[in-house]
Chain A
Amino acid sequence: MIVAEQKPLQEIKALISNAQNVLVVGCGTCVTVCFAGGEREAAILAASLRMSTRLDGKPQEIRHETVQRQCEWEYLDQIAELVQQADIVLSLGCGIGVQAIAEHFPQKWVVPGLNTTFLGLPSEQGVWVERCAACGDCILGLTGGICPIARCSKSLLNGPCGGSEDGHCEISPDTPCAWQLIYDRLLSMDKLHLLMEIQPPKNWRTSRDGGPRKIVREDLRLPTKEE
């Protein structure tokens, strides 16, 4: 899932300070399950902002609504009327959701209520950890299902660096060394021979180094009028 966390209330208040009517839009997918921007968080934030701005002597009209996914036009159509009535939209979606709203409602000013943080999973209740860097060229088949791109601090491809100590990364004793994890897993699966294959420098063009990415699936595209 995409993991995000809410911005501090003061920062959010500054972002919406010039608007009288604010629409807080939650998202029912990733940020709901990481408790950052779902229906409940949108309601809590709207109530907090109403009270806070009232206490400041500058009460703002703040409503809230949640869509199933902010990153698809069809769901955004459902809130078109509410968006039109608002001076500003405060999106509690990830960065994709914020941009989707801005793109779908070009006349409306949209601000983010969350900091989109990483692609990861909840390792235990209340703890989320990064698992994928979306590099565009997955090598998990070589590393026992443990990603050295996302989980090694240096994204090394051929074994641990000298900073690996007792299974931990030098950046923090709380951070496991990804290459130690890979070694342990390959050992337990009797696949250590995979480590003998030296990985060449990674082609980062499939990652962010190649610029903004795009996938076109001709088999899924709808025919144009000319066709």
Chain B
Amino acid sequence: MDQQVTRNREANQVWQQQIVCYACEHCAYAAADLAGTLRMQYPPSIKIVQLPCSGKLDVLMVLHAFEQGADGVMVAG
């Protein structure tokens, strides 16, 4: 994820917000899977990180995303 965020930031001519999404594997991640199955589109600047539960999220993970260049962090669960 770290390298991906950095690479996209450098490659993009037009600035696009880099969003890291921490998603619970039981609901939000499954929903993202379903969206893919349905061929629904979302910007490639959104990176989804699967968590066993959104309750697993720690402030350190959020800080880590920002440190690596994310513009926003989304928690879905």
Contact = CB atoms under 8 A, between A and B. Distances in A.
Q: Do A and B interact with each other, yes or no?
A: yes
Interface of A: 40, 43-44, 47-48, 50-51
15 contacts: A40-B58, A40-B60, A43-B60, A44-B59, A44-B60, A44-B63, A47-B60, A47-B63, A47-B64, A47-B67, A48-B63, A50-B67, A51-B63, A51-B66, A51-B67
A123 to B, nearest CB: 25
Interface of A is mostly: helix
A21 to B, nearest CB: 17
Contacts of B58: 40
Interface of B: 58-60, 63-64, 66-67
Nearest to A50: B67
A181 B73 CA distance: 49
Nearest to A47: B63
B67 to A, nearest CB: 6
A40 B61 CA distance: 11
Nearest to A48: B63
Nearest to A40: B60
A50 B69 CA distance: 12
Kindly list the 9 A-B residue pairs having the minimum CB-CB distance in the complex, ordered from nearest: A47-B63, A43-B60, A47-B67, A51-B67, A44-B59, A44-B60, A50-B67, A51-B66, A44-B63
Interface centre among B59, B60, B63, B64 (most CB of A within 10 A): B63
A47 B58 CA distance: 13
Contacts of B59: 44
Contacts of A47: 60, 63-64, 67
A193 B22 CA distance: 63
Nearest to B60: A43
A44 B61 CA distance: 10
Contacts of B64: 47
A98 B39 CA distance: 57
A50 B60 CA distance: 13
A44 B64 CA distance: 9
B23 to A, nearest CB: 22
Contacts of A43: 60
A49 to B, nearest CB: 11
A43 B61 CA distance: 11
A40 B66 CA distance: 17
A44 B63 CA distance: 8
Nearest to B66: A51
A196 to B, nearest CB: 55
B33 to A, nearest CB: 31
A42 B36 CA distance: 39
